[in-house]
Amino acid sequence: MQPLSGPGTPPVSDRHLPSAKTGPTPPGENQPLTSAQRTTLEKLVVKIMALTPMKAAELWATLRHDLHVPNEGEISAGQFPQAEQNLQSRLVSAQESHATRQLLQQLTELLPLGNNRQAVSDFIRQNFGHTVLSQLSHEQLHQVLALIQTGGLTIPPPQQTPVMDRPVLPAEQRSLQQQVARLSAATGEKPAKLWQELFNLAGVSTTDPMPARHFQVITQYLQARHTLSQQTSPTLHSLHGALKHPASPEEQQQLTEYAQTQFNAGPTTPLTAAQLHDLLGMLFSRRVDRSVTSASMVQSATAPQPLVNPLIALLPPQLQGLGGAPLLFAALLVVLILLWLLF
């Protein structure tokens, strides 16, 4: 049947037809990423690579796997929000891990100093229930580090045990190496030259291991040098402030007299790097000498004393000081005489 036509019926050409959409067509679900979208994802990948050992190819492959994209397929524009969220989450996790590693590194450098290790161990045992640093969260590590840096931890006094003439432990050696590297970066001096200086200060050959009894003094020396290297116009007053172990009144007088005699410098006179080096060398070489003397006295006091022969003890004090085989003979003679008189 043909459609009716009449005066009121519009012609076919004038009938309503679907109008064409105006403006650009938005990206479809399966269209490729736009340049702006790919740039955003690439920037996130670069940031993650800077904080982790992962390579770009590995990150892209992992992202496609998480988005269920076939191995040979490409991420589409419609998957961009999920892709961006995925990489953002990875970046936040990498940043947190990186910050935690930095805190752990700072704590590791501070633990060998003084009695910090025992203080930290006691603190985390009392507050967190264990003593393993690697089990602490980022916030807990930050709390412990802040307490050490501000002096908020109760530092137990070191045990008064005889100083053994042993070499430094591996952890102590690593601590010294880190401090030497940091000082070398600050002053421009070669590490080999700094090590030679430390061995000269300790009074040992570079072919011998560093004695553990000098570890604290050498650590304080390196810290003082690094602190003073950061100052533009250091003075004798600055030197006193840079000492981890403050100078005693006697040491203060020695430093003042030495600076006045050698450099005609007072407490506030700007000093050159060479003059500071000379003053620190004088101070810490005397501290090394005192540590050696103290160790010798402790070892002598704790050394087993020879037993006094009971026969010699019977002799008059004037004869006990002679010692040796003649004394034994004399002691026997005295005993025999006493027995003869008694019986």
Distance CA 107, CA 116 (A): 10
DSSP 280-300: HHHHHHHHHHHHHHHHHHHHH
> Distance between CA 203 and CA 50 in Å, rounded?
44
pLDDT for 205 equals 81
The set of residues, in sequence order, having a beta carbon less than 8 Å from that of 97 and lying 6+ positions away, is 51, 52
Q: 3-state DSSP call for residue 56?
A: helix
* pLDDT score of 86: 92
CB contact at 8 A, 331 and 314? yes
Which segments in the chain show pLDDT lower than 50?
1-7, 9, 11-27, 160-163, 298-299, 301-308, 311-312, 315, 319-324
* Contact residues for 137 (Cβ-Cβ < 8 A; gap 6+): none
Question: Which element (helix H / strand E) includes 223?
Answer: helix 215-229
In angstroms, the Cα distances linking 197 to 66, 130, 212, 307 are 56, 40, 17, 45
Q: Give just the sign of the alpha carbon dihedral 275, 280, 286, 292.
A: negative
Cα R_g (the chain), whole angstroms: 39
The pLDDT score that the predictor gives to residue 27 is 47
What is residue 191's DSSP assignment? Answer: H
Q: What is the pLDDT of residue 42?
A: 92
Cα–Cα distance, 91 to 81 (Å, whole number): 15
pLDDT score recorded for residue 125 = 80
